[in-house]
Structures are given as structure tokens and as C-alpha cells.
Chains A and B, each alone.
Chain A
């Protein structure tokens, strides 16, 4: 299985809602990532989990809360979002965690298209 899956595909939420995005991989990868992608832009790194521990938080507002329940799953909890948070949210995984002597070969999921009203 060489796939990263994400649910839901599309999500529309109001600014007072609480929702969660889910990501799953069964490749035995030990690093997982959340990216945000706006239209016509490259992905922007938000969070990195390495061996199920948060290793990078790129100064993301607290209304985004990541969680890594186990090595195969990654969640992104959303609360009190703003319309400017509307974007494609991408999950990725790579084989090894931070600090190892390997290359950062990342595999992306299809993304969740989020619209905040």
C-alpha cells in the first residue's frame, strides 16, 4: 500500500464550527506532515510529526490543532477558523523521522478542500 488517504474530500464550515481532518498511511512511515495550499501557490508546511511527536510547528495559529494518535494516523482539529483559512489541506508522509541520515522523500495525499464561510 503506497497511498496516503485523507477524509473528507471537501469540507464547508462556519467560523464557529469545530471540525477535524483525518489522514492515514499504511506504509510504515514515521514522519507525517500537514501542509496548507492556496490557489496557484506551492504547499506551505504547517506541522511535522516525527515518531508520533510534534517536531515542527511553523508558527501556525492555535485555531489549528494537530494530533497524532498513532504512527499511521494524523488529525488536524479546526476551531474558530477565518475565511482566509479556506485552502487545500494536504497530508504527507515520509519513511524516517527528523535527524536521520535519509532523504526526505514525501508522499502526499489528495487533500481536503476546506471552505470557511
Chain B
């Protein structure tokens, strides 16, 4: 069974940092693009970032470029998102999701981890 399990969310002050993790199991993690998508409370889904199977290519939404860093450890089957210089509007549930090579749809999602930015 394909599983993606996020962790690392919590309360952080504006300007602070946090690292999110997404542990993958049930599939060959190193063969998939993986993405982060976030959802502010009561709001819609917003794409955040993606990384290719070997970690050599990364892309970011303009709203997080320069502040967030996506990375992966294929030996540990884990995806990461390092959040720095966080803002109140970064408050959201952060989901990881996988995409097959050559595809453009998120076919499996984690359950999400909540990041709250507040003083």
C-alpha cells in the first residue's frame, strides 16, 4: 500500500524556521517526482514545490522561492521541506504528494501536517 506520512509541523514564530518531513513507503520512492502542496485553514489548495526523482531538479512557487528548500533522501525514502523566514500567511496544512515520471497529476497524498506561524 502506498503511504506518505508527513511530520514536523507545529507552531513557529514569524521569521523562524521549521523542517517538514514526508516518509514514503509501499512504492519505489526514487522513481517518482514528489511535491508539496499547502492549504491554509478554510482555504483552497496551493502548489508549493517539487523535486525530481534523483533530487537534481527543484521548482518553487513564487510565494516561497528563496525562503523554502525542498530536498529528498532516497536512501531513507524521505522528502523534506525546509521553511525559513516564515510569515503568518505560510500558516497551512502541508501535504506531500507523488507524481509519476511523465505525468502531471498527484496520484497519492499524505494526510498533511499543520504549520502555524504566530507570535
A, B bound: no
Chain B residues in the interface with A (C-beta under 8 A): none
Chain A residues in the interface with B (C-beta under 8 A): none
